[in-house]
Amino acid sequence: MSDSPMILALSCPDRPGIVAAVSTLLAEAGCNIRDAQQFDDLETGRFFMRVVFDRLEGARRAAEIQALVGELATRFGMTFTLRDTAARKRVMLLVSKFDHCLADLLYRWRIGELPMEITGIVSNHDRQHIASTDLGDLPFHHLPVDRQNKMEQEGEVWRLVQETQTDLVVLARYMQILSDDLSAKLSGRCINIHHSFLPGFKGAKPYHQAHERGVKLIGATAHYVTSDLDEGPIIEQDVERISHRDMPDDLVRKGRDIERRVLARAVRYHLEDRVLRNGRKTVVFTD
């Protein structure tokens, strides 16, 4: 048996025989399915599937399995990803002044909860603003942003993404709106944490907006970044009850805990190939 399992994630127009075809292909390639999840979207007529499998003794090589799945994809009109879990995804973290999400992600990475390789940390503020977070020897890039240099600094971010072969960009409370151009370049591989339960309270100071409206629940939303502000496909959300006694500062304090856990779950789901795009929505195969 191979040392590490492989993950196949796919979507295609729904039709009979998809599960049988995938299972047969893996069995004939000398693989054993460890876990499988599937979903038929009756509204869109699309089928989604995630399969975790081991290669047994004498199994086809990973490249051969990739080619076989490619042939199956042509037959069923599939889009798919196939990955050996030994190959960890490369992640770049972007942050501004508030570093609670960054600190949480780094802690989870260090204890092995988030299987990723960190390619760097980018901030529009200098390192002193996140002095409470131990960055260790991780590469740190200070890219201050103002109205005059915003596009230039975005170009530098994109250069770093390409240079480091980054697979995923995480906006860990990075308080800059990405341009349409950079959003398009990072489509499907840039996760943002927004400090409200979308689609409510978009944009700036959502906790203050929530307080003004007298809501009884506050939340946080992790979503993929698109050119439409806070409109990208949602990956994960959570909420916490509040009361009339809570002032905006209380909401900010309570919100930090929600933001941390929501972003961490969303990042892990992406790293483990559990998130499949479904138009403006996502299918998330949770564990």
Residue 256 lies in a domain: yes
User: Which CATH number goes with the domain that contains 167?
Assistant: 3.40.50.170
pLDDT confidence band for 199 (50 / 70 / 90)? low
Residue 199, token pair as written in the block? 């689609």
Q: Where in the sequence is the domain holding 148, given as residue range(s)?
A: 89-284
User: What mean pLDDT, rounded, does the chain reach?
Assistant: 92
Residues 138 and 218: their CA atoms lie apart, in Å, by 33
Do 135 and 261 lie in one domain? The reply is yes
Active site includes 40?
A: no
Looking at residue 127, its pLDDT comes to 82
- Read off the tokens for 143: 């890219």
Over residues 119-124, mean pLDDT: 96
Backbone angles phi and psi of 65, in degrees to 5: -65, -40
Instruction: Tell me, yes or no, whether 34 lies in a domain.
Output: yes
Residue 168 has pLDDT above 80, yes or no: yes
Last residue of a domain, one of 58, 84, 110: 84
Q: What is the pLDDT of residue 236?
A: 96
Look at residue 114 and tell me whether its pLDDT is greater than 80. Answer: yes
- 48 alpha carbon, distance to own chain's centre: 18
Which of 104, 167, 230, 246 is flagged as catalytic? 230
- CATH code of residue 28: 3.30.70.260
For residues 164-193, give the mean pLDDT. Answer: 95
Last residue of a domain, one of 60, 84, 108: 84
What confidence score (pLDDT) does residue 246 get? 83
Last residue of a domain, one of 84, 103, 127: 84
Task: Find out whether 229 and 199 touch, Cβ atoms under 8 Å.
Answer: no
What is the pLDDT confidence band of residue 1, given thresholds at 50, 70 and 90? low
Question: Which alpha helices (DSSP H) does 38-190 contain, by range?
Answer: 62-76, 100-110, 150-163, 180-185
215 is a domain residue = yes
Task: Assign 3-class secondary structure to the chain.
Answer: CCCCCEEEEEEEECCCCHHHHHHHHHHHCCEEEEEEEEEEECCCCEEEEEEEEEECCCCCCHHHHHHHHHHHHHHHCCEEEEEECCCCEEEEEEECCCCHHHHHHHHHHHCCCCCEEEEEEEECCCHHHHCCCCCCCCCEEECCCCCCCHHHHHHHHHHHHHHCCCCEEEECCCCCCCCHHHHHHCCCCEEEEECCCCCCCCCCCHHHHHHHHCCCEEEEEEEECCCCCCCCCEEEEEEEECCCCCCHHHHHHHHHHHHHHHHHHHHHHHHCCCEEEECCEEEECCC
pLDDT for residue 81 is more than 80:
yes
Q: Say whether pLDDT at 53 is over 80.
A: yes
Task: Compute the distance between CA of residue 249 and CA of residue 210 in angstroms, rounded to an integer.
Answer: 12
pLDDT value, residue 254: 84
Q: What is the pLDDT of residue 206?
A: 73
Model confidence over 222-252: pLDDT tens digits?
A: 999 998 777 899 999 999 898 888 888 888 8
Indicate whether 1 belongs to any domain: no
Q: Are residues 143 and 188 in the same domain?
A: yes
Q: Is the same domain home to 101 and 177? A: yes
- pLDDT value at 209 more than 70: yes
Is the pTM value of this prediction over 0.85? yes
Domain shared by 190 and 204, yes or no: yes
Judgement on whether residues 60 and 114 belong to the same structural domain of the protein: no
Q: How many domains does the chain have?
A: 2
Q: What's the whole-number mean pLDDT along residues 178-200?
A: 88
What pLDDT does residue 133 have? 79
